[in-house]
């Protein structure tokens, strides 16, 4: 339907100092069929009336145009400020709007009917367009809502899984830390035990080497051999004495004293007392205890 005709022409240098292309003025023209369907529905009388009306208006237009052309150009107008010019024009337009009386498009009811019908059709098509547009938009929104809900569900699931994971991790962590403390303590205990064992062994070695029982000395005191031999039978070694003292201190801390009897070889007892390893009971001189080293 739309037939476009592209016409171009360039002028031959009105201002010859200018480059030709600068002066070019081209025209794109379109001869579109101007459709006025409602004319056919009107009666001939109505058409004639309309045409008369149009002719009258065109005559008025021509008259006004002539008035504009022949009006004396205001010499001040060109120098006038643009905004002042605009203000005058707007004021004039406002005045015109105020004085204008609303009038009927045409006194002929047939024409009015046709125009009204056309307007309604136009409105109808526009509203249909709006309707389809809004429907499409609604569908799109619905779809996006669905998508968003799905997305929300997924996120919720992820959140749940993550929370669970965190809880698991925390539990695991706690268990691990308890275990570790336990293991550390065990290790320390083991270490302490080892250390104690080593100490004990060393002590035993020293005692065995340097503090033998009096039975071992056979060369001296042959005369009194009978007497010490009697004693020797159930004498305690220094090792045993210390053990006894230590066990007593640990087992009954409220009463760490050990009674001295004939199984204690006096020189050993004396040595322990002299070097401050053992203490005598302040009231009972037959009782001794281990010095409080701790």
Partner 1 sequence: MSLLKPFSKLPELNTANILLVENEEQFQQILAETIVLLKKNVNVNVRLARSLPLPIENEKFRPRIDLVVFIINLTSELSYQSAEVSLKFLDPDYFLGKVCFLVTNARNASVPPERLISVRKLVASLHCPLLFAEDQMTDGVNTAAHRLLAILKVTSGHVPMATGLYLSSLTRCTVPSDIDQQNFD
Residues that bind partner 1 (CB under 8 A): 2, 4, 6, 11-12, 14-15, 21-32, 34-35, 61-62, 65, 68-69, 77-78, 80, 82-83, 85-86, 89-90, 93
Q: Which is nearer to partner 1, 104 or 285 (CB)?
A: 104
Q: Which is nearer to partner 1, 32 or 292 (CB)?
A: 32
Cβ atoms of 63 and 135 within 8 Å: the answer is no
Residues 6+ apart with CB under 8 A from 174: none
Q: Which is nearer to partner 1, 78 or 101 (CB)?
A: 78
Distance CA 210, CA 239 (A): 11
Q: Which is nearer to partner 1, 14 or 216 (CB)?
A: 14
Tokens 């275990």 sit at which residue? 179
Q: How far is the CB of 168 from partner 1 (least distance, A)?
A: 51
The pair of three-digit structure tokens given for residue 66, joined into one six-digit string: 């002539």
Give me the sign of the Cα torsion angle 261, 262, 263, 265.
positive
Q: How far is the CB of 32 from partner 1 (least distance, A)?
A: 6
Q: Which is nearer to partner 1, 66 or 229 (CB)?
A: 66
Q: How far is the CB of 28 from partner 1 (least distance, A)?
A: 4
Q: What angle is formed at CA 116 by the lines to CA 115 and CA 121, rounded to 5 degrees?
A: 100
Distance CA 214, CA 269 (A): 13
Q: Which of 4, 135, 111 is nearest to 47 (CA)?
A: 111
Q: How far is the CB of 74 from partner 1 (least distance, A)?
A: 10
Q: How far is the CB of 155 from partner 1 (least distance, A)?
A: 35
Q: Which is nearer to partner 1, 45 or 64 (CB)?
A: 64
Q: Which of 263, 258, 251, 261 is nearest to 280 (CA)?
A: 258
List strand residue ranges (DSSP E) for 177-246, in order: none
Q: How far is the CB of 86 from partner 1 (least distance, A)?
A: 6
């Amino acid at each position: 339907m739309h037939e476009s005709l592209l016409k171009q022409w360039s002028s031959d240098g009105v201002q010859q100092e200018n480059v030709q292309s600068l002066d070019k003025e081209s025209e794109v023209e379109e001869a579109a069929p101007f459709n006025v369907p409602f004319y056919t529905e009107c009666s001939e009388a109505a058409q004639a009336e309309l045409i008369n009306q149009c002719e009258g208006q065109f005559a008025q237009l021509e008259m006004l145009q002539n008035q504009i052309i022949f009006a004396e150009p205001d010499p001040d107008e060109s120098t006038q400020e643009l905004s002042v010019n605009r203000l005058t024009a707007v004021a004039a337009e406002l005045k015109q709007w105020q004085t204008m009386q609303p009038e009927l498009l045409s006194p002929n009811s047939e024409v009015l009917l046709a125009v009204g019908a056309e307007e309604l059709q136009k409105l109808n098509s526009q509203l249909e367009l709006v309707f389809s547009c809004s429907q499409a938009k609604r569908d799109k929104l619905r779809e996006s809502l669905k998508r968003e809900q799905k997305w929300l569900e997924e996120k919720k699931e992820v959140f749940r899984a993550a929370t669970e994971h965190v809880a698991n991790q925390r539990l695991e962590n706690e268990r691990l830390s308890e275990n570790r403390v336990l293991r550390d303590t065990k290790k320390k205990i083991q270490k302490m035990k080892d250390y104690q064992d080593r100490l004990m062994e060393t002590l035993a070695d020293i005692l065995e080497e340097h503090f033998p029982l009096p039975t071992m000395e056979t060369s001296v005191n042959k005369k009194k051999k009978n007497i010490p031999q009697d004693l020797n039978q159930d004498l305690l070694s220094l090792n045993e004495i210390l053990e006894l003292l230590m066990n007593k201190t640990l087992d009954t801390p409220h009463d760490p004293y050990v009674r001295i009897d004939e199984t204690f070889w006096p020189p050993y007892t004396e040595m322990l007392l002299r070097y401050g390893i053992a203490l005598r009971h302040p009231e009972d001189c037959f009782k001794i205890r281990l010095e409080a080293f701790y």
